[in-house]
Amino acid sequence: MLLINIRRLRLYLFMLLLVVAAVYLLQAKWFWRIFYPWPYKQEIVRAAVNTGIDPCLLVAVVKVESGFNPRARSDAGALGLMQLMPGTAGWVARQTGWQDFHTELLYQPEINLMIGSWYLKHLLQDFDGNLIAGLAAYNAGRGNVEAWVRSGLWKGTKDDLDKIPFPETRAYVRAVLQNYEIYRYLYD
């Protein structure tokens, strides 16, 4: 009888230890950083600071766009960490006075981040600082978002994300916002 009670007590203590360990791990930032790493942190922070974008926003965009793969290439032809279309990157290069830009440079993290962060900042300014509309434009194109807002199809707010006509863009904005909040919590 005493042996059974000691076994039961050991079992209860072991279960309690497991619960305490689980609670500790679930609230430990270092644990969640395993699932939300920040590769290219120095480069991302530098690009963010140079353009005045929150580094946690920029890392969220990179995570959603390429999963931190600098050699990523989409079916549509978008390249690198921030999945820039060559035409868009060329336009940014011209806007910033870069004379010797060529598409292969988009596979270099520093250059991709510099161009992508400049473009994102430009979109945010075009939409008067509206993060939701700026992110939607980064994914779907400025013209599409302007048309949606102008026609009243979408107000450009988080509250009416479900009204974005492109399902991919709805999912994209949600994913970036979710990752943005997580990175702000884990790394700020």
If DSSP codes are grouped into helix, strand and coil, which group holds residue 154? coil
What's the N-to-C CA distance of the chain in angstroms? 55
Joined together, the tokens standing for residue 63 give: 């995570």
Q: What is the pLDDT of residues 109-143, one digit of tens each?
A: 999 999 999 999 999 999 999 999 999 999 999 99
Q: What is the pLDDT of residues 20-39, one digit of tens each?
A: 666 666 678 888 899 999 99
Catalytic residue among 65, 104, 110, 181: 65
Find out whether 72 and 83 touch, Cβ atoms under 8 Å: yes
Which residues are 79's β-sheet partners? 73, 84
43 is catalytic: no
Give the largest CA-CA distance in the chain. 86
The predicted model scores a pTM of 0.88
Dihedral pair phi/psi, residue 159, rounded to 5°: -65, -25
